[in-house]
Chains A and B, each alone.
Chain A
Amino acid sequence: MIERLELRLGLDFERGTLEGMAKLKTGRKSGDLPPQSGFVRKLRERSLFPAR
């Protein structure tokens, strides 16, 4: 779990790349940090009512 995050992001719009510098404080001691992954959240793009 994250308690505090300081992030510096450098974006390159031509190359589509990112450079990041993260200072991370975790709530408890942690040995595993996967910096490139993601998590599913239900896709909710479709409105239950049609657009006008």
Chain B
Amino acid sequence: MSVNSASAPFSQRVEGLNGLEAYEASVVRLEKPLEEVELTYSGRLESYESVLPYLKDSINPEYTLLRTDSLFYPIPSEPDFKSLIKSVVGSEFDAEITVEGIPEGLVVAFGGEIKENRLRIEGTNRLDIAVAPFKVIEKEPFRLFILSEEGIERTLDLLGKAHEFYSTILGSRVEKFTVIETPENYGGQAGKGYALVSGSSLRAEIPANLYHELAHLWNPRATPETHLSRFFDEAFANYLTALAIKEIHGEKAFNRFIECLKRDYEAIVRRFPEAEKLKPPEWGELGLWELSYTKGALILYDLHLLMEDSFYDLLRILAGAENVDFEGFKKLAEELSGRDLGDFFERYF
């Protein structure tokens, strides 16, 4: 992909990103910094599986996916991996997109508003657009873009139960939730009010991935620095998933889920023995976000056992809270539990 023209003088060249050199980007440098820029660009969108296994995005009639990860739109950042992530997670933008060239029989799936070929989303930090022969199912507050109707009725029922459970413990949300089915191994992802989920995850006996993505609607908003570790989105989403599993599928399923988290964590430690000594604020710096999904959720499980019912007050206050950081999290947990949680925070944070 390369830039053909821009509203200001620029230079461009392909560079590996600092911190992830195998990932090469067409880096455009403007002659002088600008607050607004207009540019036209073109190129071929191909799979980038050799660098990131889940990036299979391409433009083809069977399944097309355009997402932030494959950078089909410009992102302002230093040509540095950390800077790029900060720019993405720190953004909250409104987008209006016009998509042209969709053949008859294919449907555009998007997490925001869709009016013919015009798409709109507000307050997002990423964009995901899929084009495929989707069937669309709408049942408030859900909208599903699916590749097959098989098993979907059950999924909708479970999704409704999880939504009701989260609303009960965390407060209601008026937002719609959109699910876009992907082929296998594209990597589940969530944006504002939507999720990309594979067919097998969508129809799993316990659709944990779907519960996880739905839980993101109630995420606390961490400060950009704190967000790097993914603790306040991924650890929270995974522990909320565990609680939803307990509510919907019972105690045994909850225990199995917790055991899976432990096994996955142990597998990470076998690969990176130093991970055992790291604390959540350090995870992001080293790119070990996997720890938030596993160890992070297990830390919240321990905190739940310690705080008992006051843990739900903590979840409810944090859901949708702004500028959350580790220090504020500790203070709030101690205040709500009425106990000195010094040992706990000393051990884990």
Contacts and interface: CB of A to CB of B under 8 A. Distances in A.
Given A18-B59, A37-B17, A5 B73 contact: yes
B141 interface: no
Nearest to B188: A44
Contacts of B96: 5-7
B44 interface: yes
Contacts of B321: none
A25 B36 contact: yes
B303 interface: no
B268 to A, nearest CB: 11
B328 interface: no
Contacts, number: 265
Interface in A30-45: 30-45
A12 B100 CA distance: 9
Contact of A32 (B24, B77, B188, B204): B77
Interface residues of B, number: 106
Nearest to B224: A1
Given A18-B43, A49-B204, A51-B203, A2 B100 contact: no
A17 B95 contact: no
A14 to B, nearest CB: 8
A33 to B, nearest CB: 4
A48 B34 contact: no
Nearest to B39: A22
Given A9-B72, A11-B101, A51-B204, A39 B28 contact: no
B68 A24 contact: no
Interface centre among A17, A30, A37, by most B CB within 10 Å? A37
Contacts of A50: 204-205
Given A16-B60, A44-B212, A33 B100 contact: no
B208 A5 contact: no
A52 B209 CA distance: 14
Interface stretch (B50-58, B166-174, B274-282, B306-314): B50-58
B312 to A, nearest CB: 23
Interface of B: 1-3, 10, 14-15, 17, 20, 23-30, 32-46, 48, 52-55, 58-61, 64, 66, 68-79, 81, 84-85, 87-88, 90-91, 93-103, 106, 127, 129, 131, 151, 184-189, 198, 200-201, 203-209, 212, 230, 234, 256-257, 260-261, 264, 287, 289-290, 292-293
Interface of A: 1-13, 15-45, 47-52
10 contacts: A7-B98, A13-B64, A13-B101, A26-B37, A30-B35, A34-B26, A35-B75, A45-B54, A48-B208, A51-B203
- Smallest CB-CB A-B distances: 4 pairs: A37-B25, A29-B33, A51-B200, A30-B76
